[in-house]
Structure formats: C-alpha cells, structure tokens
Amino acid sequence: MTYRGVVLDVDGTVVRGDEPIPGAAEGLDRLGRAGLRRLFVSNNPTKRPPAYAERLRRAGFDAHPDEIVTAGTITTDYLADNHADDVLFVVGEDALVDQLTDAGLSVVADEARADTVVVSIDRTFDYDRLCAALRACDDEAVTLVGTDPDMVIPAAEGDLPGSGAIINAVAGVVGRDPDVMLGKPSEPAQRVVRERLGLPPADCLVVGDRLDTDIALGERAGMTTALVRTGVTDDRDLERSDVQPDYVLDSLADVATIL
C-alpha cells in the first residue's frame, strides 16, 4: 500500500528521554524519502510544540513545531472551544497552566471556585492536592477533564507514572470517571490529526509503542497501524489486548518493510 501521511508517537517510538531510540533515525529517513507528510503526536501535556521540537533536535532529529501536536495543545483547544467561560482548577504542572492561561482561560488556586477541574501529570502531587481535587468536585455539576490516559511513560531512567495515574487517583476519591479524557486516542485528538494532515484516513499510517493510545487512535480513525517494540508494550500485552495493530515492528527502522 502507498501511504501519504504518517502519525508518529514520540516517547518510546522516536526518543526515550532526550536520547534517540536505536533505529529511529533510519525509520525517519525512510519515511522522508517516501515523501510522507508527518505529524508527531504526543500525550505529554506539559511541553508545547516548540519545546518538543527542541527536544527532538537535541536527540538529532529535525522537526518543525507545526509538525507536532501534544496533549497540552489538544486540552487547551478543547477547553477554549467548550469551556471558554469556565473557571478552571488544575491538578497539573505549571507548564500546563501556562498553556491554558496564555490561551485566555481562567485558572484559579481556590478549588471552591471551580466550574471545571483539569487533571494531568503532576510530579509534585500529594495528599493535600488530592484533598483539594476532592473538594473541587463536591458539586456534581463541575466538569472533570483528564488531559490524557497514559498510566506510565517511558523515560531515560525507566517507566514512570503518567497522567493516568494522577487522574485515576482523583477519579477514585471523587467517585466518578472524567467527563472527557483527551489526548490519544480521543475524538478531539483524532480530529486534530485529520485536520493537520489533511489526508483521507485510508492514506495514513500510525506508528507508536502503545496499544491503548497510539494503535487505538489509528484504529478508531480508520488508519493503518504499526506497533514498535521499543516502548512500553511487550508480547504479553499484545496477547491480552483487544486492540491489535496491523503490523508489529522491532523498531521504527523496520517501517521500510511496510511502505
């Protein structure tokens, strides 16, 4: 099959931390020679596209911010479109708050004022913050938003808890699931991917290391999917999952076998 566009995960597929994953350079070169329009899509809610482009540059890869979509940008766009007048209480890091406030959204420190609670990765998350999130959701009319479902994220020192771990903690004490979970594989993420690539889904390939986000995104969007073994998914995960990729590759270098 001839593809015209490719959606690429970043962490676990192209880089781990700031280090390139073996085979990623070869794979990206092959995709470039094939002339595919590319889009890097990450469930990291803390880094803006320019920061991601710089991160990829440090790993030896050239990428323009216009080629990058993150859970932070998806969350910001979603809230601007659907909750522009809401007062937001954020369980998350300053980088996410900055993205929201720069878009003109109102973020407050007083959980009692919240119309919408946004929950994301927070590496300073503690019991007091969990209590504040519980108080913020006392009113069932308050909207609960998760930036992305990633339970763990691949890092240079090994896998670490991601947004999903924090979101599950808050959802557990609140007693309800988020009203919307953004990032991959959500419908808002699919919509952004379709708009950015501007191609029929059947002409697009999705490559990533996670079944529940990368592969599920491609499956739901009607795109061909390829799982790489360089991230968080192993053979046991594949056997147990209802979400199955069209192809399984040892690394991004093997993408040449399916182009």
- Following DSSP, what letter does each residue of 80-98 receive, concatenated? HHH-TTSEEEEES-HHHHH
Q: Say what the pLDDT of residue 157 is.
A: 79
174-216 pLDDT per residue, tens: 999 999 999 999 999 999 999 999 999 999 999 999 999 999 9
Domain 5-43+184-257 matches domain 75-181 at the CATH topology level: yes
Which residues are the active-site residues? 9, 11
How many beta carbons lie within 10 A of that of residue 34, not counting itself?
15
**Residue ranges per domain, the chain?**
5-43+184-257, 75-181
Over residues 140-156, mean pLDDT = 92
Q: What is the CATH number of domain 75-181?
A: 3.40.50.1000
Residue 190 has which token pair? 């699919």
pTM of the full structure: 0.93
* Nearest partner of 226 among 198, 189, 254, judged by Cα: 254
Residue 108 has which token pair? 């407050």
What distance in Å separates the CA atoms of residue 41 and residue 229, rounded to the nearest whole number? 18
Q: How confident is the model at residue 244 (pLDDT cuts 50, 70, 90)?
A: very high
Over residues 238-255, mean pLDDT = 96
Q: Say what the pLDDT of residue 23 is.
A: 96
* Nearest partner of 62 among 24, 112, 102, judged by Cα: 24
Name the architecture of domain 5-43+184-257.
Answer: 3-Layer(aba) Sandwich (3.40)
* Helix, strand or coil, per DSSP, at residue 37: strand
Q: How far is CA 78 from CA 97, 116, 185, 252, in A?
A: 14, 12, 14, 31
18-58 pLDDT per residue, tens: 899 999 999 999 999 999 999 999 999 999 999 999 999 99
Q: In what order do the strands lie in the sheet with 106-107?
A: 106-107, 87-91, 116-119, 143-146, 180-181
Residues in the chain: 259
Over residues 72-88, mean pLDDT = 97
Q: Say what the pLDDT of residue 155 is.
A: 77
Q: Say what the pLDDT of residue 17 is.
A: 84
How many beta carbons lie within 10 A of that of residue 156, not counting itself?
10
* Nearest partner of 164 among 176, 179, 181, 180, judged by Cα: 181
On whether the CB atoms of residues 155 and 191 are closer than 8 A, the answer is: no
On whether the CB atoms of residues 195 and 73 are closer than 8 A, the answer is: no
What distance in Å separates the CA atoms of residue 29 and residue 172, rounded to the nearest whole number? 44
Q: Mean pLDDT for the chain?
A: 96
